[in-house]
Amino acid sequence: MHFPLTDEFFYYLCTSISISVTNRMKHRIFEFKGKKINYRDEGNGEQTLVLLHGYMNSLDVWQYFILEYMNAFRVIAVDLIGHGESEIVEDISTMELQAEMIKSLLDKLEIKHCVMCGHSMGGMITLAFAEMYPEMLKGYCLMDSQALADSEKGKQNRLRTVELINDDRIRFIVDFIPNLFALDNRIRYVADIENLKAIALNTKKEGIVAAQKGMIYRKDRCDVLKRSNCPVLFVTGKKDIRIDLETLLAQACLPSDSEVMILDCGHMAFIEEELKVKMRLRDFTNYCFAI
Residue 214 lies in a domain: yes
Residue 236 lies in a domain: yes
Residue 140 lies in a domain: yes
227-247 per-position pLDDT tens digit: 999 999 999 999 999 999 999
d(CA 228, CA 97): 21
Residue 2 lies in a domain: no
Give the pLDDT confidence score for residue 44 in this predicted structure.
Answer: 87
Give the pLDDT confidence score for residue 258 in this predicted structure.
Answer: 98
Task: Give the pTM.
Answer: 0.92
From first CA to last CA, the distance across the chain in angstroms is 63
DSSP 92: S
- Give 13's pLDDT tier (boundaries 50, 70, 90): very low
- pLDDT at residue 56 above 80? yes
CA atoms within 13 A on the CB side of 175: 8
- What is the residue range of 70's domain? 7-290
**Number of compact structural domains in the chain:** 1
- pLDDT at residue 5 above 70? no
- Which helix (DSSP H) or strand (DSSP E) does residue 196 occupy? helix 190-201
pLDDT higher for 288 or 22?
288
Residue 40 lies in a domain: yes
d(CA 232, CA 157): 29
Using DSSP's 3-state secondary structure scheme, residue 169 falls into: helix
Give the CATH number of the domain where residue 275 resides: 3.40.50.1820
Residue 147 lies in a domain: yes
Residue 1 lies in a domain: no
